A and B are shown apart, each in its own frame.
Chain A
């Protein structure tokens, strides 16, 4: 960070002190925000009446237990290779994680991009390559692009285990939760790059919540918080962007068109929140032969979340990670019980790694 970024953090920190004239509780929706806030020690620069709770914006964390089990089960099949993002590898399933399955001989490949998963299918023509696609609206367009490509070239050994989820519905669910009593959402920067600002409009208009999109650098997060405090002070709630560098009000039309072409809204199961109507994506019929669930006739076996694990409550801001009885013992980043401790952007891992004895 250059000097001016450092100064901007200080400037914003002063403005936040000035504007927060009563206790304010915001939710940072996005796990990347959570990590950036802890890694930069930003909390130590907040006024004491501003608090942040972490939200459901870690795609690995909100992936349901039975979804994790499904991918682990597929990994154990003959002539199957799993391709997925590194984020998924250490998430504990009911019996095994992908890392443990790999140690037992399963073919599991970390890819940096959905395009890498399709490349793998081309390189392994005798295998069925299953791409476990996690992620929100930022990540799903890449899956859509790759499926279009696989369709064009008839790459039949490429399948997608689709865990993609969408953000606006889940925020409305949280906005309605009286126990949370939020004063606003710090909205995810890169999801908003794709979506633009309008999908969040009901949060401000109907629920009277301040809504500000923010980038991920410390000074960008501080800017977002200042605008949230300002909306509360003025009592005028709207959806604003504090991240003009990467977010156009209308979003990325091309990416949205691609999503629309390949996917349709579907119900999705979230850890800690259960089945939320319209909060996921499923393939439209012309592409459903890429859906691993359909092609392989998979049924999801309902799987309970790990006993005692309160990832669900952490993901919805109901408890602070340290309030989970498993936090720190036995659940640690070395031996995680739930996904919030394993994912590098999980709020439990962030608190464990960066915030345990918060140097206030």
Chain B
């Protein structure tokens, strides 16, 4: 329902605008929807607006999720 792409903010250009980099592309991003945007922030951008800061895939929450999935997968492979 909503494509959103990770961007890194590489410049803050105004109170509500920044330049975001996604892969090799640089594009203007609106920052109205996030608190205190700063250079280097990893954000999720939907339709030109940053909608949230992103946790990296290495974050503890993500690891914990996959740890629990792996637990069920391991049982399966032993049966």
- Interface residues of A, Cβ cutoff 8 Å to B: 8, 11-12, 14-15, 17-19, 29-32, 57-59, 85, 112-116, 135-136, 138-139, 141-142, 145, 188-191, 193-194, 223, 226, 230, 242, 244-248, 252, 254-255, 258, 345
Q: How many A-B residue pairs have CB under 8 A?
A: 133
A188 contacts B2, C-beta separation under 8 Å: yes
12 A-B pairs (CB sep. < 8 Å): A11-B66, A15-B69, A15-B72, A18-B76, A19-B72, A58-B1, A113-B48, A115-B30, A135-B2, A190-B51, A223-B69, A258-B32
- A32 with B3, Cβ < 8 A, contacts A193-B44, A193-B51 known: yes
Contacts of A244 in B (CB 8 A): 55, 59, 61-62, 65
Nearest A-chain residue to B33, judged by Cβ: A255
Partner of B35, one of A8, A57, A254: A254
Contacts of B30 in A (CB 8 A): 113, 115, 142, 145
Q: Is B24 an interface residue (CB 8 A)?
A: no
Partner of A252, one of B48, B51, B61, B66: B51
Contacts of A246 in B (CB 8 A): 4, 44, 52, 54-55
- A245 with B59, Cβ < 8 A, contacts A57-B1, A136-B1 known: yes
Interface size of B by CB at 8 A reads 34
Most buried by B among A29, A85, A116, A226: A226
B72 contacts A32, C-beta separation under 8 Å: no
Q: Is B21 an interface residue (CB 8 A)?
A: no
Contacts of B3 in A (CB 8 A): 32
Most buried by B among A58, A230, A252: A252
Nearest B-chain residue to A248, judged by Cβ: B52
B69 contacts A31, C-beta separation under 8 Å: no
Most buried by B among A116, A226, A245, A246: A245
A142 contacts B49, C-beta separation under 8 Å: yes
B55 contacts A245, C-beta separation under 8 Å: yes
Determine the distance from Cα of A255 to Cα of B32 in the docked complex, in whole angstroms: 8
A191 contacts B2, C-beta separation under 8 Å: yes
- Interface residues of B, Cβ cutoff 8 Å to A: 1-4, 16, 30, 32-35, 44, 46-49, 51-52, 54-57, 59, 61-62, 65-66, 69-70, 72-73, 75-77, 79
Contacts of A57 in B (CB 8 A): 1
Nearest B-chain residue to A257, judged by Cβ: B33
Would you give the shortest CB distance from B55 to chain A, in whole angstroms? 5
B57 contacts A245, C-beta separation under 8 Å: yes
Contacts of B66 in A (CB 8 A): 8, 11, 223
A114 contacts B59, C-beta separation under 8 Å: no
Nearest B-chain residue to A34, judged by Cβ: B1
Determine the distance from Cα of A242 to Cα of B77 in the docked complex, in whole angstroms: 23
Partner of B73, one of A15, A114, A242: A15
Most buried by A among B32, B33, B59: B33
Contacts of B73 in A (CB 8 A): 11-12, 14-15, 18
Contacts of A14 in B (CB 8 A): 72-73, 76-77
Would you give the shortest CB distance from B49 to chain A, in whole angstroms? 4
A138 contacts B4, C-beta separation under 8 Å: yes
Contacts of B57 in A (CB 8 A): 245
A191 contacts B1, C-beta separation under 8 Å: yes
Determine the distance from Cα of A309 to Cα of B13 in the docked complex, in whole angstroms: 48
Determine the distance from Cα of A15 to Cα of B77 in the docked complex, in whole angstroms: 9
- A141 with B2, Cβ < 8 A, contacts A14-B73, A15-B76, A19-B72 known: no
Contacts of B55 in A (CB 8 A): 244-246
Most buried by A among B51, B55, B77: B51
B1 contacts A18, C-beta separation under 8 Å: no
A112 contacts B70, C-beta separation under 8 Å: no
Partner of B47, one of A142, A189, A245, A247: A142
